[in-house]
């Protein structure tokens, strides 16, 4: 996978928990669109925070913490 904005990178081969390949075109389209939207929302939050005088480093830490705190609603 190439790092950068999801609308410009080559996505990884998405895998199932068992290691199989997710190959459904519609699922892959949804995943890609979700990542593009998340990237744009994060970029907007970073830009707005910097314009308001917030620390870029702190903003990035908060964005990472948000991702780290996500819960799997299907676990268990």
pLDDT at 3: 59
pLDDT digits (tens, 9 = 90+) for 4-48: 666 677 889 999 999 999 999 999 999 999 999 999 999 999 999
What pTM, to 2 d.p., does this model score? 0.81
Tell me the C-alpha distance between 44 and 15, whole Å.
29
Nearest CA among 49, 29, 38, 45 for reference residue 5: 38
What are the structure tokens assigned to 11, written together? Answer: 């996505």
**Across the strands, what pairs with 21?**
15
């Amino acid at each position: 996978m190439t790092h950068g904005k999801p609308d410009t990178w080559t996505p990884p081969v998405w895998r199932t928990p068992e290691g199989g390949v997710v190959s459904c075109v519609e699922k892959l389209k949804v995943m890609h669109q979700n990542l593009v939207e998340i990237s744009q929302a994060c970029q907007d939050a970073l830009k707005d925070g910097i314009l308001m005088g917030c620390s870029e480093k702190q903003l990035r830490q908060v964005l990472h913490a948000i991702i780290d705190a996500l819960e799997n609603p299907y676990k268990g």
